[in-house]
Structure 1
Amino acid sequence: MTILENDQIRVSVRSKGAELTSIFHKASGIEHLWQADPSVWAWHAPNLFPVVGGCLNNQLLVDGKTYPIERHGFARQSTFETTESTATHAVFSLRSSEATRVHFPYEFEFQIIYELSGPTLTVTYRVLNEDEKTVFFSVGAHPAFAVPFGPDEVYEDYYIEFEKAEPLQTHMLSAAGYFTGETRPVATDENRLPLTKHLFDQDALVFKRLRSHRAAIRSRNHDHAVTVDYPAFPYLGIWAKPGAPFVCIEPWLGCADSEGNQKPIERKEAIQHVEPGRVFNASFTITVS
């Protein structure tokens, strides 16, 4: 376990999946990350790579060949190497191998970088192309934040406050986890999305190309908040297991497939790419205030 710490927050990261396991706010004594109760949802904050969401037939189509790939990719199940570590900074690395080539036929290094500054944790995804061809991929975050923050509150005391007031339309998912092509409006109070136990009865809320690039979890009872800023991520998922005491705010560069015919990886919706010898970077932040 790698621990990063300053005078305001302490975070822990495990080597499996380079996954955050704790975001502890010292002044309030509050643990803000869901603690992965296996009877409810056994993850804290999985990192999604090289796909986000599900692929049709659980396959990637690359250069005319199909490769088996699980929902959200293999990074979250992989062991990362810690290549740098200081009191407030750590770099975790996953390199291509025989195991990854079975699912993703590219030569790459996937780095996840964590950096503390005051009350803010910056998470950077870096993809290094070590191949002789363009590498196509998706990448995203899935942090689960514990709600309510304290024992004297209930889930319904909380809401998600978006940066801007705008109409929210969620893109509907089938039972298999693929986009159906349908949308439905999501009721808000100006720029506030109230949290309720039934908000996620029809799976995740998926928003595409919002004008807002910030979302905060807030209570009606106090000013303490957790804010996620995601300027480089045009897709956003919000999810919780129905009735569970957490909510995920998920910045994505990629998304699930739509129902219909399988598309080659370079034509998948929201696909990213990096040229040979080049490096891709995208960052988001989590701030406790």
Structure 2
Amino acid sequence: MTILENDYLRVSIRPKGAELTSIFHKPSGIEHLWQADPMVWGWHAPNLFPVVGGCLNNQLLIDGKAYPIERHGFTRQSKFETTESTTAHAIFSLPSSVVTRVHFPYEFEFQIIYELDGPRLTITYRVVNQDKKTIFFSVGAHPAFAVPFFVNENYEDYFIEFEEAEPLETHMLSAAGYFTGETKPISTEGSRLPLTRHLFDDDALVFKKLASRRVSLRSDKHDHAVTVSFPAFPYLGLWAKPGASFVCIEPWLGCADSEGQPRPIQEKEAIQQVAEGKVFEAAFTIEVS
């Protein structure tokens, strides 16, 4: 386990998936990450690569060949190497290998960088192209924040506050986790989306056209908050297991497939790319206030 720590936060990251397992706010004594109850949802904050969401037939079509790929990719199940580590930052590395090439036939290094600065944690995804051609991929985050913060509160005391007061429209998912092409308006109170135990009965809320690039998890009962800022990520997912005591705030560069016929990877919605010899980077932050 790798620990980053300062006067504000103590952050823990495990080698499997280079996954955050704890964001502990020292002044308040609050653990802000869901603690992965295996009877409910056994993850804390998985990192998603080289796909976000599900692919039709659980396959990626690359250069005319189909490669098996699980939902959200193989990164969350992979063991990363820690290449740098101090009390303020850590770099985790997953290089391409015989194992990854079964699912994703590129030469690459996928790095996840964690940097702690006061009450703010920055997470940077870096894709290093070591191949002789362009690499196509998706990448995203899936952190689950524990709700409520305090034992004398209820889940329904909380809301997601968007940076902008804007109309929200979610893109509907089928039972298999693919986009149906349908959308549905989501009721808000100005810039607030109240949390309820039934908000995610129809799966995740997926927003593709947000003006907001920052959202905060807040309560009606106090000013303590967690803010996720995602300037480089155009898509945002919100999700929780119905009835569970957490909410996931998920910045994405990529998304699940839509129902219909599979498409080559370079034609997938919101696909990213990095040219031969180049490096791709995108960062988001989690701040506790």
Per the normalisation by structure 1, the TM-score is 1.00
* Rounded Cα–Cα distance in structure 2 between residues aligned with 1:189 and 1:85: 43
* Post-superposition CA distance 1:192-211 (Å, at most 9, x none): 00000000000000000300
Q: Deviations over 1:91-110 (max 9, x none)?
A: 00000000000000000000
Displacement, 1:89? 0.3
Shift of 1:161: 0.1
**Residue equivalent to 1:273:** 273
| Distance in 2 separating the partners of 1:59 and 1:87 | 40
1:44 aligns to what?
44
Alignment-derived partner of residue 161 in structure 1: 161
2:238 matches 1:232: no
Q: Structure 1 residue 28 and structure 2 residue 31: aligned? A: no
Partner of residue 152, structure 2: 152
Q: What is the distance in 1 between the residues matched to 2:247 and 2:223?
A: 18
Cα distance between partner residues in 2 of 1:64 and 1:235:
28
1:210 aligns with 2:210: yes
CA separation in 2, counterparts of 1:126 and 1:186? 33
1:150 is aligned with what amino acid?
F
Helix, strand or coil at the partner of 1:261 = coil
Q: Where do 1:238-257 residues align within 5 Å?
A: 238-257=238-257
How much has 1:218 moved relative to structure 2? 0.2
Q: How far 1:122 moved relative to its partner? A: 0.1
Query: 1:15-39: per-residue Cα shift (whole Å, max 9, x none)?
Result: 0000000000000000000000000
Q: Which residue of 2 aligns with 1:11?
A: 11
Trace 1:20-99 onto structure 2 (pairs within 5 A): 20-99=20-99
The superposition leaves residues 20-64 of structure 1 with CA deviations (integer Å, 9 ceiling, x where unpaired) of 000000000000000000000000000000000000000000000
Match of 2:273, SS state, is strand
SS at match of 1:37: coil
- Give the distance between the partners of 1:35 and 1:186, measured in 2 at CA: 28
**Structure 2 stretches lacking a partner, 5+ long:** none
Residue type matched to 1:283 in 2?
A
Matched residues in 2 for 1:32 and 1:170: separation?
26
Aligned to 2:124: 124
1:220 deviates by 0.1
Task: Report the number of matched residues.
Answer: 289
Q: State the identity %.
A: 78
TM-score of the two chains, using structure 2 as the length reference: 1.00
Q: In structure 1, the residue corresponding to 2:156 is in which secondary structure? A: helix
Structure 1 unaligned residues grouped into runs of 5+: none
- Whole-angstrom distance in 2 between the partners of 1:257 and 1:167: 24
> Aligned equivalents of 2:215 and 2:74: distance in 1?
27
Provide the rounded CA distance (Å) in 2 between the counterparts of 1:211 and 1:118: 27
Q: Which runs of 4+ in 1 moved over 6 A?
A: none
AA in 1 matched with 2:30: I
Structure 2 distance, partners of 1:72, 1:19, is 14
* RMSD (Å) for aligned C-alpha atoms: 0.3
Equivalent position amino acid for 1:105 in 2: P
